Every structure is written in C-alpha cells, then in structure tokens.
Amino acid sequence: MTTEELVNQIQLKKSFLCIGLDTDLDKIPPHLLEGEDPIFEFNKAIIDATQHLCVAYKLNIAFYEAYGLKGWQALEKTMQYLNSNFPEIFTIADAKRGDIGNTSTRYARAFFEELDFDSITVAPYMGRDSIEPFLAFESRHTILLALTSNPGAFDFQTKQAEGRELYKSVLEISQTYKNAHNLMYVVGATKAEYLKEIRELVPDSFLLVPGVGAQGGSLDEVCRYGLNKNIGLLVNSSRGIIYASNGVDFASAAAEKAAELQGQMALQF
Ligand SMILES: O=C(O)c1cc(=O)[nH]c(=O)n1[C@@H]1O[C@H](COP(=O)(O)O)[C@@H](O)[C@H]1O
C-alpha cells in the first residue's frame, strides 16, 4: 500500500487507529478453544467487528511463533483473510527484525512477499546495510524502532552519543538511507513528551505509536505533539481492545473499546 492510500483511508474513516492482534490462547474466550483454529477464529471475529473503526492491524509475530507450526498457519490465514476481504487496511508485521544485508533480504521476502504484509518493524542497531534491503521494496514500509514505550528504552535510546541522544541519530541518519521515503518510526505513547522534538526531525514521516491502553499512554498527549498535516500517526492498542471481554461478547466489547478511541481521533479532523 502506498503512503497516499494510507492517508486517504485515514481521512475517509476519521481514524488513525491500529489494532494489535497479540493473540494469546491464555487470554482468549475459553469457548473458542474447543474449535479447530482458535487463534484464527478469534482474529476473524475481532477483525469483522472492528475493521470499520481502524486503518491498520498489527500482528505481533511472537504471539504466533510461540505456537509453532499452528501459530504460523493461523498468521498466514489471518493475512489471507485481511488481504482478500479488506485490502484497504494497512498491515504491520511486528517482527522487530534486522540482520546483515543478505539475511535482511530474506526477512523482507518472508514478510512482504510470502505473507504479503504492507510493513514490518525493524530494529536499527545494525545500521544501513541491515535496513536498506527492506527499503528496496516499493509500496512496503519499514518501521524503525526510534524511541520505544518500555522502561528499558532509557538504557540506550536516550543516551548521548556524539552530542545527541541515540534515538535522534536513528531518525537523522536513517533519513539518508536509499529509499528513505519508505521509512516510518516507532515512538512509544508513554514517551509522548518527546514527540515535539521528534516532529522537528521527521515532520513528514508516519509514526507508529504503541502504548495507549494497557501501558498507560495518553492519546490526547500523543495527538498534541505527534499529528502532522496528513495526520501522520498510527496509534496502536492491543490488549486494551482485544481483551475487553473474554466472554461470548468479546468481539462487540472490543468494538466498543475501538469506537471509544476512534471517537477521540475523529475530533482531530
Ligand atoms: O513495535 C511495537 O509495536 C512496539 C514498540 C514499543 O515501543 N512498544 C510496544 O509495546 N510495541 C508493541 O505494541 C504492542 C503493545 O501492546 P499493548 O500494550 O497490549 O497495547 C505489543 O505488540 C508490543 O510488542
């Protein structure tokens, strides 16, 4: 999907909500466990109930890999369901990959070609040659971890290196990479106060902002500093939406939570 198509969807739906499908068999409604493929059935029900309220789904790959072959099959099935029924929705493989060049190319092929995701999260630590193989795929997006939502973000990301914080080097240096127009960045909602400075460095880039809901980030604060002229944000909530109930009403309860966030987002248009 092109950035322009994503921007159009955001305007059309008055939403920049991303729903995280972090599907955990210990948390989904017990009645689903009796079926053939509980992970896919859960995802399908959540997607059907919420797709009109969001512009993106983020599938955290760890939650699928944890179940081995069955998990991977449920991941594939979810992607096929999304791409055949809702091709206008942006998909994110939250895989946090990155390796030397030829290995990154294989990761890129796995997630962009084989699974047909629109984007992937990538760790920037290994530098240019680990990122450019992902950027070579046009109309696909590489979402670099810049300033993450977790407490450990302060171990390295905010430390001074060559006179500036490391996350600022990530933002500035990555903009010099080949095909940098295919870059987006992760900034945690719990770090909303940093967004003003981040916007000065990357005014036009899309930011994926996880951490609203279960991690306590505030949508209002994210909007105050993070919005740009195209909106420029994908705000993710996973547990706060998909586990709103673990009864038979789980999908409608998730839709209610998603509608709350979308309602707040609509005020920004
Ligand atoms: O890359 C991510 O998506 C990510 C980056 C980050 O800084 N913090 C963060 O929480 N995430 C992911 O975003 C999701 C947050 O989930 P909830 O806290 O349940 O809304 C999880 O899939 C995390 O792995």
φ/ψ of 207, rounded to 5, equals -115, 130
Helix (H) / strand (E) element for 209: namely strand 207-210
HEC states along 215-260?
Answer: CCECHHHHHHHHCECCECEEEEECHHHHCCCCCCCHHHHHHHHHHH
pLDDT score, position 159 = 97
The helix-helix angle for 250-266 and 38-50 (nearest 10°) equals 40
Distance from the CA of 226 to the center of ligand 1, in angstroms?
17
What domains can you pick out in the chain, each with its CATH number?
3-266 (3.20.20.70)
pLDDT score, position 173 = 98
State pLDDT tens for residues 4-20. 999 999 999 999 999 99
pLDDT score, position 121 = 98
**Active-site annotation holds for 196:** no
Q: Is the ipTM of this complex over 0.90?
A: yes
80: tokens are 């096929």
* Count of CB atoms situated within 10 Å of the CB of 213: 21
**Ligand 1 pocket by Cβ (under 6 Å):** 20, 22, 58, 60, 94, 121, 148-150, 186, 188, 210-211, 213-215, 236-240
pLDDT score, position 162 = 87
Name residues of the chain where pLDDT drops below 70.
none
Catalytic residue among 27, 77, 96, 191: 96
Rounded to whole angstroms, the Cα distance separating 110 from 97 reads 11
State pLDDT tens for residues 79-99. 999 999 999 999 999 999 999
Paired strand residues for 141: 119
